[in-house]
Chains A and B, each alone.
Chain A
Amino acid sequence: DAGITQSPRYKITETGRQVTLMCHQTWSHSYMFWYRQDLGHGLRLIYYSAAADITDKGEVPDGYVVSRSKTENFPLTLESATRSQTSVYFCASNGGAGNTIYFGEGSWLTVV
């Protein structure tokens, strides 16, 4: 079934380690997004991409790196994880301006 999938769904890692969260969509949507959601802050945009090889910072990009070599994949890397990056991470995609955004099921990340 077509959709947007994230992996891993749950991850515990140690401070200072590199972690990559994967996101894959099967709709060929041009736009892809990474959000984090924390209590009291709602959904905050980390990075987004308008197309393959085009990425841009969102509201809270520090400490994160993204790439988009293929339209369907948009991995998010925490280069050196910190406890403040403990959060739920949602990947999302849409086909362009005015279009509905669809979310993956989320990746629960705990940094200890």
Chain B
Amino acid sequence: RKEVEQDPGPFNVPEGATVAFNCTYSNSASQSFFWYRQDCRKEPKLLMSVYSSGNEDGRFTAQLNRASQYISLLIRDSKLSDSATYLCVVNPGNTGKLIFGQGTTLQVKP
């Protein structure tokens, strides 16, 4: 079983739609969680950290469920510019090492 698993998609949605991505992780001792965004042929960049109480940044909402070892990202009112691959990222222990999921591809269509 992979340490971090995501549905690769692709998710094809119309502009204005709400879309949710899920991610599961295997190490229950994992401490830190992030969502990264990667555009085609570019480096991954931090979208947002994920906090235990859940957190929101504009149209983006991240949730963490430690009991189920599950992270989610909700995007409301999708824009064409949201088209990208979204990577779930987990810090499995007390080091700087991060584990990346395979990524979920989102394509927002007009």
Asked if B94 contacts A97 (CB within 8 A), the reply is yes
- The size of the chain B interface, using a CB distance under 8 A, is 24
- The answer to whether A30 and B103 have CB atoms under 8 Å apart is no
What is the interface size of chain A, counting residues whose CB is below 8 A from a CB of the partner? 24
Given contacts A43-B44, A103-B45, A105-B43, contact A48 B97 (CB under 8 A): yes
CB-defined contacts of B34 to chain A, threshold 8 Å: 100-101
| Partner of B44 from A45, A98, A103 at Cβ < 8 Å | A103
| Count of chain A to chain B residue pairs whose CB atoms are closer than 8 Å in the complex | 58
Using A97-B94, A99-B96, A100-B49 as known contacts, say yes or no to A41 and B43 having CB atoms under 8 A apart.
no
Tell me how far the C-beta of A99 lies from the nearest C-beta in chain B, rounded to whole angstroms.
6
- Find residues 60-106 in chain A having any chain B CB closer than 8 Å to their own CB: 90, 94-106
A33, B89: Cα distance in complex, Å: 14
Contact (Cβ within 8 A) B43 A90: yes
A42 and B43 contacting across the interface, CB-CB below 8 Å: no
Residues of A near any B CB (own CB < 8 A):
30-31, 33, 35, 41-43, 45, 48, 50, 90, 94-106
Residue ranges of B at the interface with A (Cβ–Cβ < 8 Å): 31-32, 34, 41-46, 49, 87, 89, 91, 93-103
